[in-house]
Amino acid sequence: MFKSNSGKNAVRLHKSGPEIAQELHACIGCNECLLACPALGEPVTIDVLNRETLGGPISRPVAQFARACYQCGACVAPCPVGLHRDAMMMWLKVRLLRAGWGALQQ
Amino acid sequence: MKKAQAVNPIALDSADMVIVGNGIAGLTAAVEARRLAPEKSVVIMTSQSHPTINTPALKQFAIGKVTREQLLAYPAGTERTQRIHVVHAHVEEIRAQEKYLRLASGQCFGYGQLLLATGSHPTGLPHDLPGQDFDGVMTLHRLHDYLDLRRRLNEVEEAVVVGGGSHAIETVMGLLYWGITVHWLIRSETLLPRTLDRTASEMVLEGVRRAGAKIMTGTEVAGIVGRVGAVAGVVTTRQQLIPCQLVLVCTGTAPVMSLADQCDLPIKHQQGIQVDDFLRTSVRDIYAAGDVAALRDPLTGKYGPRAQWYAAVSQARTAAAVMTGNGEPEAFGVPWHATRLGDISMVSVGDPLAKSGQSAPLTSQRKGSYRRISLVDDRLVGYLSLGPAQPDSLAIKRIIDEGHSVREITRDLLRGEFDAHKYFSGKRNYVVKRMLTTGQPPTPLPPLSGRLPGESQALPRISPQTDALPQIVEGTSEQARQPVTGQIVRPVHAGSRSTSTPHPPNHQAAKEQRQQIAEQRTLIGEDPKFGPKVPFWEEDAPQGHGSERQFISPLKHSQDETDALANPHPSRSLWHYSSKLPAVKGKNHVQK
């Protein structure tokens, strides 16, 4: 996810916003990515995760999950539809950053 | 209507938008309609006894990987928070002239606009097949079927699966997971004959065979033998008797068209209700989306249903946009199907088996993966990939839909080494391209609201955000900043372009090159990743502020990188571009 660009400390997201939205809409909710996730602590259901990645307020469990995600990419291989949960999680991190860490729903 | 009032005057109710069916298409359309038109009343009519679920996840449910609660497609209570009224009723008839529905209870329900999202039903075995009504002969389609299956699993040692589609493979793999001996009967010699060629089919079959299934191709069910009302075995057309306790029929699905038949005005339907790109049926104010809708394939021109998850979601979203009058229909493009066939991932985009005169399929088979590419000239028309890993298939769909030349990436596509990000960052941004070709500003999506009903007036309405469009700055002067209006905009680079720059003799080529660079500059100004016209997440960002700057600043490097990709030799380019003399500074106004 984070690609170093010849020592420039560049950050590059490999999916743009519309692409993330498209992938979220293509998600069939089979839960395989969450089963493969080593960072998922308390249970987060895929419906809530998808909704909150797409927009609206972010609930505490989802925010914690987004913080815990260290972009290992274990979620990508099991996806039967070939989606990139890591990129979606990155978006969630972006949304959290933009909202400010304190501005979360309790 | 008079009749209904005579029966029960209170029962006549109505809504602006009535959606029949609460599958994913129905609920997605309802949620989207609520977002786009907060003031309209939205009603879902359904005879289903459970909320909308992720139906593709039912196969994970069958093997116990997912609980019933995890099947929900939208968070529990979405209907309530989004003020979507769900009516549990069976719709019998559409009276399109007076615009009302007649329900099975005899009541009537008026509609302003009607969306048919009734989905599909399993085809099952022929009704005259001997023994097809024994207990233990099942189709797996709805949640109830899977609950039924899970209850039966303990008593089953051998099962027969009938059918040659991806659903059959999933069923076979699910049964094998539980340690059941599976006999799989396939009518034709190959699997998914409209998607897979023989090599691909063999690969998938070999995988399933390795997993332990007993596969019989070219074999059909001749009859089912039962004992005291329950299945005892299956007789095949090859005169074999296979003893089993369960027969799972996966012979495909067909759109539910009873409502289209029961309409006083003719709704055109053949294989599904025929709709145009706006999801309109042949009857005014009646729309269709999901498995029941038959769309035109842009490649073949034939109407046919696309019974897939993503197709249903995108159709529902478009239908809601059109019905609420916010219609900016997205072209659905070519069919896209990605799934797992046993332990192999399959992706098919467009028509991988296209056999027109000019198209030349290319195939590549290596290291347990197989790819097939159909080309017409240098355009991609079909892509099939089988293997342990999935390529970025939505990006490939985009290549087909947008008609890019694949001459340079054919080899990468064939070898499965296609890097979508690299490719598209070199290409023009989709939105920018459309803006340039249509001259229309892009329509940003308002955020999906998780607000309470009382706060709905705070929902932003869709309006072109002219101030959020990419801006072009000439030098550093404020006056030169002008928003993009209805014309193709090319950046002016007065500061960096010397008047004495010699034009190449070939003016046409120079013009093209200039336009190309102009578009790339616009792209950079636009910042495709986090452009100013951020669609749905904008609401969460605090206005004007440290956190945003913090985030954007590292991305500036990636802009440089994009620039480097697009223009490897800046000094040789028409317009010299450096950080000292910025040609385009789309972010300037944001920073101030």
pLDDT at B231: 95
Question: Is residue B394 included in any domain, yes or no?
Answer: yes
The H or E element spanning position B2 is: helix B2-7
What pLDDT shows up at residue B24?
94
> Do B448 and A51 lie within an 8 Å CB cutoff?
yes
Buried-state track B38-75, b at ≥16 Cβ within 10 A, e below 16:
bebbbbbbbebeebbbbbbbbbbbbbebbeeebbbbbb
Q: Are residues B550 and B442 in the same domain?
A: yes
The answer as to whether A50 is a domain residue is yes
**Residues B160 and B232 occupy one common structural domain:** yes
For residues B442 and B558, state if they share a domain: yes
Is residue A96 very low, low, confident or very high in pLDDT (cuts 50, 70, 90)?
confident
B210 and B104 share a domain?
no
Show the 3-state SS of B162-198: ECCCHHHHHHHHHHHHCCCEEEEEECCCCCCCCCCCH
Domain annotation covers residue B49: yes
A103 to chain B: closest CA residue? B540
User: In B442-582, which ranges are E strands?
Assistant: 471-472, 482-483
Report the domain count for chain A: 1
Count of Cβ atoms closer than 10 Å to residue B89 Cβ:
17
Task: Kindly state whether residue B132 falls inside one of the protein's structural domains.
Answer: no
CB atoms A56 and B60 under 8 Å: no
How far is Cα B120 from Cα B292, in angstroms, rounded to an integer? 6
Asked which of B295, B323, B351 is the last residue of a domain, the reply is: B323
The CATH number for B234's domain is: 3.50.50.60
Facing residue for A47 by CB, picked from B72, B449, B450:
B72
Phi, psi of B181 (to 5 degrees): -75, 125
Q: Which residue of B lies nearest to A10 if distances are taken between CA atoms?
A: B557
Same structural domain, B266 and B243: no
Assigned domain for B541 exists: yes
Residue A47 has pLDDT above 80, yes or no: yes
A12: nearest CA in chain B?
B558
Average pLDDT over residues A61-69: 90
Tell me, yes or no, whether B459 lies in a domain.
no
Q: Which of B323, B354, B378 delimits the end of a domain?
A: B323
Q: Which chain A residue's Cα is nearest to B565?
A: A5
Helix or strand (DSSP H, E) at A34? helix A32-36
pTM score of the predicted model: 0.71
Count of beta carbons in the 10 Å neighbourhood of residue A100: 15
Same domain for B350 and B216? no
- Asked if residue B329 belongs to a domain, the reply is no
Q: In terms of residue numbers, what domain contains A64?
A: 32-99
Do B155 and B114 belong to one domain? no
Quick check: A84 and B392 CB within 8 A?
Answer: yes
DSSP B531-570: -SS--SSGGGSPSS-HHHHHHHHHHHHHHHHHHHHH-S-G
d(CA A91, CA A75): 15
What per-residue confidence (pLDDT) applies to A7? 36
* B60–chain A Cβ distance below 8 A for any pair: yes
Q: Tell me, yes or no, whether B91 and B225 share the same domain.
A: no
Quick one: B127 exposed, middle or buried, by C-beta within 10 A (0-12, 13-18, 19+)?
exposed
> Is A45 contained in some domain?
yes
**Among candidate residues B251, B285, B306, the one where a domain is terminated:** B251
Q: Which of A16, A18, A29 is facing B73, going by the closest CB pair?
A: A29
**What proportions of chain B, in percent to the nearest 5, are helix, strand and coil?**
30, 25, 45
Instruction: Report d(CA B393, CA B406) in Å as an integer.
Output: 15
Helix, strand, or coil here: B41? coil
pLDDT of residue B330: 72
B127 lies in some domain: no
Calculate how close chain B gets to A27, using CA atoms only, in Å: 8
Q: Is residue A23, in this structure, part of any structural domain at all?
A: no
Element (H, E) at B26: helix B24-36
Does residue B455 lie in a domain region?
no
Decide if B393 touches A, using CB distance below 8 A.
yes
Segment 337-376 of chain B within 8 Å of chain A by CB: 338-340, 345, 347
Distance between CA B423 and CA B413 in Å, rounded? 11
Total domain count for chain B?
A: 4
Q: Are residues B472 and B583 in the same domain?
A: yes
Residues B81 and B47 reside in one and the same domain: yes
What ipTM score was computed for the predicted complex, to two decimals? 0.81
What residues in A contact B340, CB-CB < 8 Å?
80
Range of the domain at B192: 137-251
* H or E element at residue A41: none
Q: Are strands B344-350 and B336-341 parallel, antiparallel or unpaired?
A: antiparallel
Backbone angles phi, psi at B42, to 5 degrees: -120, 125
Interface test with B, best of A6, A27, A33, A47 (most B CBs within 10 A): A47
Partnered with residue B19 across adjacent β-strands are B44, B115
B152 and B54 in a common domain: no
Q: Count residue pairs from A and B with Cβ separation < 8 A.
A: 155
Across the interface, whether the CB atoms of B540 and A95 are under 8 A apart is answered yes
| Distance, CA of A90 to CA of B361 (rounded, Å) | 37
Task: Using CA coordinates, name the residue in chain B closest to A24.
Answer: B310
* DSSP per-residue codes, B294-329: EEEPTTT--EEE--SHHHHHHHHHHHHHHHTT---P
- Same domain? B247 vs B142: yes
pLDDT means per 10 residues, chain B with 592 residues, are 42 83 94 92 93 91 90 90 92 92 91 94 92 93 94 93 92 94 93 88 92 93 94 94 95 91 89 90 93 86 86 92 81 85 87 70 84 85 86 85 83 81 67 64 46 35 35 37 41 39 49 53 38 40 37 40 43 39 43 40
Query: By the CB < 8 Å criterion, does B217 face chain A?
Result: no
**Cβ-based contacts of B548 with chain A (< 8 Å):** 98
